[in-house]
A and B are shown apart, each in its own frame.
Chain A
Amino acid sequence: MSELHIRMPREFDEESVEVSLVGNVYSIDDDAKTALPHGKRNIVIEAGNTGHQNTLSIPKGRYLLEITMPSGQTIAQDFVMRDGETTEIEVEGQSSPREWLAYQHLAGNVSSLEESGDDDEGWLTTAFARGGALDTGPTKGAGPKAKAYWLLVDARKATLESSIAPKQLDAEPEDLQPTEMDPTAATFRVSAERAPEVWDDGKRGFVLVEAGKESILVAAPLPWEDIRSHRQAAFEVMTPKRSLAVSSMVRDSALGPMLAYMANGSLQPALHLAAKAEDMLFHKISNPLAAVGGACILLETATESGRKNWHGWIENLYRRKSHLPDSAIVYATLLLNHQKEDADVDKALGLLLEGGARGLPYYSRSLRLLLDGLTAFASDPDFKRRRDEVTAMLHDVERVAQRTNFRQIFTTIRLGRRR
C-alpha cells in the first residue's frame, strides 16, 4: 500500500473552513484493477482553505478520482500510485463567482466563475432558476431594490395560515443590512446572536425579503450548531437585484454539503455524510434541525420496508423534539412507509395533523411530505377517520405549497399575488 495525499483548496470568506465532500476512486490499469477491482467508493474529502490533507491508502496502479460536488457538478482527476511512494494531488474545482458566495456556490445556487464566461451576470442564471424567479435569465433594467428583515416570532403564531400573511406573525421586523454589496446581488446574513437562544424557548425566526410590492418569506433554521466546530452557524439569503428570487444556505461546513447534496438529488453522497455524522445527528441530537435533514435522507434512500436501526432514531427525534413541525412529519412518513401494524396508519395521520398544527415546516422537503401525506388521506375512499380535520389542514397546506419554491432546502414562500 502507498499513501495518497489529496488537497482540495477552496476559497471562503472566513478563515479555517473545511467542507465535507464525497468522491470515488476508480481503478484504471491492470495493477489497480487487480488490487481494487471496484475502486474505493464514497470516500469523504475535506476541501477548504486550511490546507487540509486527506490521506488514503491505495495500492500501486493508475486511478481516477471523481468528486461529486453538492451542486451536482463532478470533478475528475487521474493519478498514479507507485509502490512505497507517497502521491500528492491537488484537485481544482470550479470557483465561486464571488468569495462571499462560496456557500451559495457550493450548494449550486449560483453558477461558477468559469461557467459565467465574459458575462458579468452569467453566474446569476442559476440563481434566478433555483431561486424561483419568473425568468431563468437576467432581465434587462434594474428591478426594485430588495430589502430584508429578520422576524423573530412566537413559534405558536407561525402557523401555516400566518406564513402566507406575515402580518399575522405579529413580529417587529428588524432591518438586515446586506453583508456584501454587489451591483448584481445582495447577500443578507443572520448570525446566531439574532437567533433564539435555545430550541425550547418558543421562538423561531424568518427572513422576509421585499422588492417593490412582492416579498418572499424564508424559514430560518436557527439556531444551527455546526456539529464539527460546535460554533453557531449563520444563515444566509441571497437575492439578485434584477428580479425577486431568493436562494438560501446555512453556513455549516460539515452538514451544509449534506443538505445541498439532498436538494440537488445526489442522495448517495448525502446518505454517506449523514451516516458519518450519525452520532451527533441522531444520538446526541446536538442539532435537531440537521437531524431532520438527515432523517429525510434516510427515508428517501431506503429501498426496503424491513425494520432498520434508524427507524428508532426518527422516533427518538420526534419524542425529544416534538415541538418541531418537521420531526412529527418525518416520523409520520416513517410509519406510513414502514408500517408494522394497522395502528401505524392512524398514528401517522395523528402525527401529520400534529406536525401541521405546529406551524410552517423548516424544510421544504417536510412540507412536501406533509402535502403528500394529507393528500393521500383526504383522497382515500377507504379511510374516512378525522376527514374534516384532514380536509381543513390540507386546504392550508395546499395554499402554502402553491407558493413554495421546493428547490430551496429551507421553506421559501412567495407572498402577495402569485404569478
Chain B
Amino acid sequence: MDRFLVRENAQTGPSTHALVIGVGKYPFLNGGDGGRLFQDHAGMGQLTSPPVSAMAVADWLAHEFDHPDKPLGSISLLVSAEDPVTFPAADAGAPPTEVAPATFANVKQASLDWKKRGDSEPKNMMLFFFCGHGIADGAKLALLTEDYGEDDDAGLAHAVDFNRFHMGMERCKGRHQCFFVDACRTQDDSLEEAQGYAGDPILTPTVRRDREAGLRLKPAFFSTLEGTKAHSQKNQPSRFTRALLQSFAGGGADDLTGQWWVDTNQIQKSVQWLMDRAKRLGFTHTQINPVDSLSTLRLHRLSGAPQVPVAVSCRPETKNAEAALSYASTAKQGQHDPAPEGWDLELPPDDYEFAATSSGTIIAEKQQYIRPPHREVDLEVEP
C-alpha cells in the first residue's frame, strides 16, 4: 500500500478510487507555527473544520460507500491538522494508519498516484474531495495546501490550480469522475497579480483525442459561489460537508429503477436545501453551492431505506416552543420535546402522521408522505 492510502481493496473490474484532502494547518498563515507569516496572507489563518470534514468523508467511504458495479478500490487521505492524524485500519486489532500531511509535494504525488489508479479501467469512478482554504480570481480557483506561503516570492507554488487540474483529468482513462470542493472562493489580489497563474495544475490539460475512450462525466460541486466564503463551525464538519454526508445518507437518493441510489442530480437538490436549513445552527450567511459540468452519475447504492431530511414546524412558528412533536408510520415513530426553531428529523420514506401536542391536547396534526430529497411539514395550529 502506498503511503497515502488508508484503504486498498484489490478489485478485478471497474472500481472506485477516492482522493480526500483536508487542510486545517497552515504554518505560514495567521496563527501558524512556521516561524514567519506569509506576506500575502490576506487575513487567512488556521482552520479546524477541514481535517474533521476530510476524516468524516473518508470514514463514510470506508464504511458506508457501496457501488456494486464499481466497488471501493482505494482511499487516499491527506490531512494537515494541528496534531498528527491516524485512520482506523480495516482489520479490527490492526494498528491505525498514519495519515500523511497535505503538503503540496504530498498532494501532488497522491494526485498522480490516484490518476494512475484510475487509468486501470475506463469504467473506474474517481472521487475527489478537498476541504481547506481556497482563493479565487473570477473563475480561477487555487486550492491551498499546508505549505502555502512558505516562500514570499512564490506563494502559489504550494497551491493547486483546480480548474486546470479538473481539465487535466481528461488524461485519466477512468471516465466517471466527481469532484467536491469545500473551500472559500474569495477574491485574492495575489491571483490577480499572477496574471492567470493559479498554482500548479499537477495534471496538464489536454485535448481529447482518444475516440475509443468514453465521454468523460466530470461534475464538480463547489461549497460556495465565486467571490464568496464557505462557512463552518469550529471542530465540526463544514456546512457543505455536513449537507453532503446527509445527502449520501438519503437526501440525495432516488428509486427510479426500484432501488435507492444516490446520484449527482439528487445531491444538488438535497445539499442546497440542507445548507439553507443550517441557518438553524447559527450559519447566518447565505451560502449557495453551484455545480459545474453536472451530468448524471450514480454514486452510491443505499443498503437500506434512505434517511430523508425532514423539517417540521408549527404554523405559527411561535407554537414550536410550547408544543411537543410526535410522529408515527409503519417504519418509525418518535417523540420530541418543544423546540422553538422547529424539528429537524431524518426519517425513512413512508406515510407519516405528525402531531403537535400542547398540555396534553393535540393542537395540530397532518398526514404526509416522506421521500427524498427532503420534505417540509407544516402543522397548522388553529388560532
Out of A302, A340, A401, name the residue touching B211 (CB < 8 Å): A340
In the complex with contacts A136-B287, A376-B206, A418-B192, A74-B374 CB distance below 8 A: yes
Task: Give Cα distance in the complex from A171 to B347, angstroms.
Answer: 59
User: Which chain B residue lies CB-closest to A271?
Assistant: B296
Interface size on B, residues (CB 8 A): 58
Q: Does the CB pair B294–A300 fall under 8 Å? A: yes
Query: B333 near A: Cβ within 8 Å?
Result: no
Q: Does the CB pair A381–B204 fall under 8 Å? A: yes
Residue from A304, A379, A382 with most neighbouring chain B CB atoms (10 Å): A379
Q: Does the CB pair B215–A303 fall under 8 Å? A: yes
Query: A1 near B: Cβ within 8 Å?
Result: no
Q: List the A side residues contacting B285 at CB < 8 Å.
A: 125, 136-137
Q: List the A side residues contacting B225 at CB < 8 Å.
A: 129-130, 407
Task: Give Cα distance in the complex from A137 to B196, angstroms.
Answer: 29
Smallest beta-carbon distance B242→chain A, Å: 18
User: Which chain A residue lies CB-closest to B284?
Assistant: A137
Question: Chain B interface: which of A249-257, A322-330, A331-339?
Answer: A331-339
User: Which chain B residue lies CB-closest to A394?
Assistant: B196
Query: B108 near A: Cβ within 8 Å?
Result: no
Q: Does the CB pair B265–A401 fall under 8 Å? A: no
Task: Give Cα distance in the complex from A97 to B111, angstroms.
Answer: 46
Q: Does the CB pair A337–B205 fall under 8 Å? A: no
Q: Does the CB pair A371–B269 fall under 8 Å? A: no
Q: Does the CB pair A401–B374 fall under 8 Å? A: no
Query: B70 near A: Cβ within 8 Å?
Result: no
In the complex with contacts A64-B371, A338-B215, A72-B286 CB distance below 8 A: no
Q: List the A side residues contacting B226 at CB < 8 Å.
A: 132, 405-407
In the complex with contacts A129-B288, A336-B207, A379-B206, A300-B293 CB distance below 8 A: yes
Query: B340 near A: Cβ within 8 Å?
Result: no
Q: Does the CB pair A375–B164 fall under 8 Å? A: yes
16 residue pairs A–B, Cβ–Cβ below 8 Å:
A26-B371, A38-B258, A76-B375, A76-B376, A132-B226, A266-B268, A302-B215, A303-B217, A305-B215, A336-B208, A340-B211, A375-B163, A377-B207, A402-B137, A402-B139, A407-B288
Query: B273 near A: Cβ within 8 Å?
Result: yes
User: Which chain A residue lies CB-closest to B285?
Assistant: A136
Out of B139, B167, B296, B373, name the residue touching A268 (CB < 8 Å): B296
Query: A143 near B: Cβ within 8 Å?
Result: no
Q: Does the CB pair A265–B291 fall under 8 Å? A: yes
In the complex with contacts A64-B369, A380-B205, A265-B215 CB distance below 8 A: no
Q: Does the CB pair B288–A126 fall under 8 Å? A: yes
Smallest beta-carbon distance B353→chain A, Å: 12
Q: List the B side residues contacting A64 at CB < 8 Å.
A: 369, 371
Q: List the A side residues contacting B368 at CB < 8 Å.
A: 78
Query: B63 near A: Cβ within 8 Å?
Result: no
User: Which chain B residue lies CB-closest to A349?
Assistant: B207
Q: List the A side residues contacting B187 at CB < 8 Å.
A: 134, 418-419
Task: Give Cα distance in the complex from A379 to B167, angstroms.
Answer: 10
Query: B272 near A: Cβ within 8 Å?
Result: yes
Smallest beta-carbon distance B161→chain A, Å: 10
Residue from B137, B258, B367 with most neighbouring chain A CB atoms (10 Å): B137
Within 8 A of B (CB), among A262-300: 265-268, 300
Task: Give Cα distance in the complex from A74 to B371, angstroms.
Answer: 12
In the complex with contacts A305-B215, A376-B207, A78-B296 CB distance below 8 A: no
Query: A398 near B: Cβ within 8 Å?
Result: yes
Query: A347 near B: Cβ within 8 Å?
Result: no
Q: Does the CB pair B207–A383 fall under 8 Å? A: yes
Q: List the A side residues contacting B163 at CB < 8 Å.
A: 372, 375
Task: Give Cα distance in the complex from A111 to B287, angstroms.
Answer: 12
Task: Give Cα distance in the complex from A400 to B192, angstroms.
Answer: 13
Residue from A111, A336, A368, A375 with most neighbouring chain B CB atoms (10 Å): A375
Binding site for B on A (CB under 8 A): 26, 28-29, 37-38, 41, 62, 64, 68, 72-74, 76, 78, 111, 115, 125-126, 128-130, 132-134, 136-137, 265-268, 300-305, 336-340, 342, 345, 368, 371-372, 375-377, 379-383, 395, 398, 401-407, 418-419
Q: Mark B205-220, 1 if CB is under 8 A from A, else 0.
A: 1111101001101000
Within 8 A of A (CB), among B94-147: 137-140
Q: List the A side residues contacting B236 at CB < 8 Å.
A: none
Within 8 A of A (CB), among B271-319: 272-273, 276, 284-288, 290-296
User: Which chain A residue lies CB-closest to B317?
Assistant: A117
Query: B182 near A: Cβ within 8 Å?
Result: no
Residue from B170, B207, B229, B272 with most neighbouring chain A CB atoms (10 Å): B207
Residue from B226, B367, B374 with most neighbouring chain A CB atoms (10 Å): B226
Query: B227 near A: Cβ within 8 Å?
Result: yes
In the complex with contacts A38-B258, A405-B226, A303-B268 CB distance below 8 A: no
In the complex with contacts A265-B290, A301-B296, A303-B215, A339-B373 CB distance below 8 A: no
Query: B190 near A: Cβ within 8 Å?
Result: no
Q: Does the CB pair A345–B209 fall under 8 Å? A: yes
Q: Does the CB pair B164–A78 fall under 8 Å? A: no
Query: B351 near A: Cβ within 8 Å?
Result: yes
Task: Give Cα distance in the complex from A74 to B372, angstroms.
Answer: 11
User: Which chain A residue lies CB-closest to B192?
Assistant: A418
Task: Give Cα distance in the complex from A153 to B173, angstroms.
Answer: 46
Q: List the A side residues contacting B170 at CB < 8 Å.
A: 376
Q: List the A side residues contacting B292 at CB < 8 Å.
A: 368
Smallest beta-carbon distance A218→chain B, Å: 16
Task: Give Cα distance in the complex from A128 to B285, angstroms.
Answer: 11
Q: List the B side residues contacting A383 at CB < 8 Å.
A: 207
Residue from A78, A134, A267 with most neighbouring chain B CB atoms (10 Å): A267
Query: B92 near A: Cβ within 8 Å?
Result: no
Q: List the B side residues contacting A395 at CB < 8 Å.
A: 196
Smallest beta-carbon distance B356→chain A, Å: 18
Task: Give Cα distance in the complex from A18 to B69, angstroms.
Answer: 43
Residue from B137, B138, B294, B376 with most neighbouring chain A CB atoms (10 Å): B138
User: Which chain B residue lies CB-closest to A306?
Assistant: B215
Smallest beta-carbon distance A264→chain B, Å: 8
Q: List the B side residues contacting A111 at CB < 8 Å.
A: 286
Q: List the B side residues contacting A380 at CB < 8 Å.
A: 204-207
Q: Does the CB pair B269–A68 fall under 8 Å? A: yes
Query: B326 near A: Cβ within 8 Å?
Result: no
Q: Does the CB pair B215–A418 fall under 8 Å? A: no
Q: List the A side residues contacting B167 at CB < 8 Å.
A: 372, 375-376, 379
Task: Give Cα distance in the complex from A380 to B171, angstroms.
Answer: 11
Smallest beta-carbon distance B266→chain A, Å: 10
User: Which chain B residue lies CB-closest to A371?
Assistant: B139
Task: Give Cα distance in the complex from A29 to B371, angstroms.
Answer: 13
User: Which chain A residue lies CB-closest to B137?
Assistant: A402
